[in-house]
Amino acid sequence: MFAVVDIAGKQFRIATNDRILIPSVEGKVGSTVKFDRVLLLGEDKQISVGNPLVTGASVEATVLEHLKDDKIIVFKKKRRKGYRVKRGHRQGYTQIQITKLGK
């Protein structure tokens, strides 16, 4: 069984016991999170496509850890004006393991 889920504006194809990195979500390590925005739900030959969502379908996952991506440097400069700004950004991610999916 697999599903296509919309999490924080991004779509993920998942199955049971998959481990994926998603944009940061609230929740402590070990807690369970639930996602209701299921766009497609499928088994071997049977596929349910939502319009836009599959009614009654949900996905449950366990939070494994919270991570940060590599630092991205944002440097701005205007020639001959003495304007220089250096900023950095690290995107936050959450690693989850899918425990249950279906209706």
**Please, which pLDDT band fits residue 33 given cuts at 50, 70 and 90?**
very high
43-89 pLDDT per residue, tens = 888 999 999 999 999 999 999 999 999 999 999 999 999 999 999 99
Structure tokens at 76: 């701005």
Q: What value does the CA radius of gyration of the chain take, rounded to a whole number of Å?
A: 19
Q: What does each C-alpha distance from 17 to 9, 28, 46, 66 come to in angstroms?
A: 22, 19, 21, 18
Cβ atoms of residues 69 and 31 within 8 Å: no
Q: Can you tell me the distance from the alpha carbon of 74 to that of 56, in angstroms, rounded to the nearest whole number? A: 43
pTM: 0.82
